[in-house]
Amino acid sequence: MATQDVDSIWLNRKIYEDAEITYYENLAKAALTPLAGEVAKARQRLIESRDTFTSNIETIDTGAIKFFEKKLVEFEKSLNAIIKQLNSIDVRVASLEKTSNQSKPVHQISIAGAPKTSEAKKDEDDDDVDLFGSDSEEESEAASKLKEERLKAYEAKKSKKPTLIAKSNVILDIKPWDDETDMKLMEENVRKIVADGLLWGASKLVPLAYGIHKLQISCVVEDDKVSIDWLTEKLEEIEDYVQSVDIAAFNKI
């Protein structure tokens, strides 16, 4: 490149730089134009939303005020109706009191406010005297006597009424020492246990193991007279035949 051309470039540098700046500004404007449109649309939406919200608030406030005004009017009407009814009642009561006073005899009104005479006081003192006191005491004694007789009759009737006797049906498992124990003699000794309120029932031999059987026997006991613990102890005292006693079943009758 010639020296003259180089000098020309440096002399026109400002023109080239301005042209370059203008070029990039145009590119930037082209890129920002759609974005500016979206921003404007968003701003318009915000303005519309604000106006709608403000309008709704004004509508709500106005509706609430109208509602409370309506309720206030209704309450005032109800209050006036109650006051009217109360006034009517007062007039009715006054009318009844006036009618009652007019129908009362004059001599009764004057006597009610007059002091009592000595004769009237004497009559009241005479009224306090119980002229029939003795008769009342006799009647009270007769009533007490009749009450006692009825109580005695009730107790006698109650004592004759049969009472329910509580009983239990018990099945016992009585185990021997080994297979050589004489089970027949064991049962005989068991049934020798006798007590008021104890009744022995049916029995059978139930296999255990290795040829050993246990004696299963039932009995009925009166709960107030025979204790199952006492019966178990008496059975275990038959030490020659009995190893242990278990309760297989226990039912109230």
pLDDT digits (tens, 9 = 90+) for 200-239: 999 999 999 889 999 999 999 999 999 999 999 999 999 9
> Of 127, 158, 182, which residue sits at a domain end?
127
Query: Residue 88: what pLDDT?
Result: 73
> Of 111, 127, 143, which residue sits at a domain end?
127
Lowest mean pLDDT, pick from 23-32, 110-119, 238-247: 110-119
> Same domain for 47 and 108?
yes
> Same domain for 43 and 123?
yes
> Same domain for 83 and 194?
no
Range of the domain at 52: 1-127
> Same domain for 10 and 62?
yes
CATH number at residue 226: 3.30.70.60
What percentage of residues in the chain have a pLDDT greater than 70? 57
Host H or E run for residue 249: strand 244-252
Query: Residue 110: what pLDDT?
Result: 47
Question: Residue 141: inside a domain, yes or no?
Answer: no
Query: Residue 196: what pLDDT?
Result: 94
Query: Residue 72: what pLDDT?
Result: 76
> Same domain for 2 and 123?
yes
What is the distance between the alpha carbons of residues 249 and 218, in angstroms, rounded to a whole number? Answer: 9
> Same domain for 96 and 187?
no
What's the chain's average pLDDT? 75
> Same domain for 13 and 101?
yes
Question: Residue 81: inside a domain, yes or no?
Answer: yes
> Same domain for 171 and 64?
no
Q: Supply 202's token pair.
A: 């049916």
Question: Residue 77: inside a domain, yes or no?
Answer: yes
pTM score: 0.38
Query: Residue 11: what pLDDT?
Result: 58
Question: Residue 200: inside a domain, yes or no?
Answer: yes
How many domains does the structure of the chain reveal? 2
- In this prediction, residues 124-149 reach a mean pLDDT of 65
pLDDT greater at residue 145 or residue 24: 145
> Same domain for 194 and 86?
no
Question: Residue 148: inside a domain, yes or no?
Answer: no
pLDDT tens digits, one per residue of 52-110: 655 555 555 566 677 777 777 787 777 777 877 777 776 776 766 666 565 555 444 44
> Of 127, 158, 189, which residue sits at a domain end?
127
Transcribe the chain into DSSP letters: --HHHHHHHHHTHHHHHHHHHHHHHHHHHHHHHHHHHHHHHHHHHHHHHHHHHHHHHHHHHHHHHHHHHHHHHHHHHHHHHHHHHHHHHHHHHHHHHHHHHHHS-HHHHHHHHSPPPHHHHHHHHHHHS-TTHHHHHHHHHHHHHHHHHHHHHHHHHHHHSPPPPPEEEEEEEEE-SSTTS-HHHHHHHHHT---TTEEEEEEEEEEEETTEEEEEEEEEEETTT--HHHHHHHHHT-TTT-SEEEEEEEEE-
Question: Residue 246: inside a domain, yes or no?
Answer: yes
Question: Residue 147: inside a domain, yes or no?
Answer: no
What is the distance between the alpha carbons of residues 128 and 146, in angstroms, rounded to a whole number? Answer: 30
Q: Supply 74's token pair.
A: 């209704």
Question: Residue 137: inside a domain, yes or no?
Answer: no
